[in-house]
């Protein structure tokens, strides 16, 4: 199996498993969360096996999925899993904000400099855009889970956030092309 397919499966497999178990289990979060947690842990193990390390974003997501999924099951209260996307997006925004003040270079540059080469001004703009995007996603998740049905939120979580993130990421290509270097 090729490495990019394995990466795709480890990135998106757990959420698709959650989605399948949610709908096959009669729209019951208590039935969908354990497979999500197990699939997430298996994905982290596969990532570690392949790369001999677990990058910060998947590790943070895995910890939060396990923690908030466990709280949801233990207290039989879905509010914990509803809030997980808000909390993770706000944590990422806060990390990028703190990186602006406590690091010599934007954290986003540290994470992606091996795959993208940009001028410093480009990294700063990209970092700022991701800060605002993560805050936007956190607020949007709060609005959706507080005003819509659980089923709507599940669909939004699986398909909406993924689509919005893909569109935002693609919309950054002109900025990256503008500040691209040949290093």
Q: What is the mean pLDDT of residues 60-87?
A: 95
| 155: Cα within 13 Å, side-chain hemisphere | 7
Q: Which residues pair with 118 in a beta bridge?
A: 180
Helices 120-147 and 79-102 meet at what angle, rounded to 10?
Answer: 160
Q: What is the mean pLDDT of the chain?
A: 92
Residue 115 has a pLDDT of 82
Residue 183 has a pLDDT of 61
pTM, to two decimals? 0.87
pLDDT in tens, 120-169: 999 999 999 999 999 999 999 999 999 999 999 999 998 999 999 999 99
Between CA 157 and CA 150 the distance in angstroms is 10
114 pLDDT tier (thresholds 50, 70, 90):
confident
Say if residue 182's pLDDT is above 80: no
DSSP string of 7-24, one letter each residue: HHHHHHHHHHHHHHHHHH
77: left (phi over 0), alpha (psi -120 to 50) or beta: beta
């Amino acid at each position: 199996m090729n490495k990019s397919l394995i990466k795709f499966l480890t990135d998106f497999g757990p959420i698709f498993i959650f989605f399948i178990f949610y709908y096959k289990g009669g729209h019951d979060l208590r039935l969908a969360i354990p497979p999500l947690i197990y699939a997430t842990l298996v994905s982290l193990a596969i990532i570690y096996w392949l790369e001999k390390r677990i990058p910060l974003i998947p590790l943070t997501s895995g910890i939060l999925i396990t923690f908030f999924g466990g709280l949801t099951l233990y207290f039989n209260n879905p509010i914990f899993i509803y809030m997980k996307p808000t909390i993770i997006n706000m944590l990422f925004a806060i990390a990028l904000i703190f990186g602006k003040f406590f690091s010599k270079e934007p954290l986003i540059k540290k994470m992606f400099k091996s795959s993208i080469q940009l001028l410093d001004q480009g990294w700063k703009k990209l970092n700022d855009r991701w800060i605002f995007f993560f805050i936007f996603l956190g607020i949007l998740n709060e609005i959706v889970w507080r005003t819509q049905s659980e089923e709507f939120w599940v669909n939004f979580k699986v398909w909406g956030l993924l689509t919005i993130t893909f569109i935002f990421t693609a919309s950054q290509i002109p900025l990256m092309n503008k500040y691209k270097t040949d290093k």
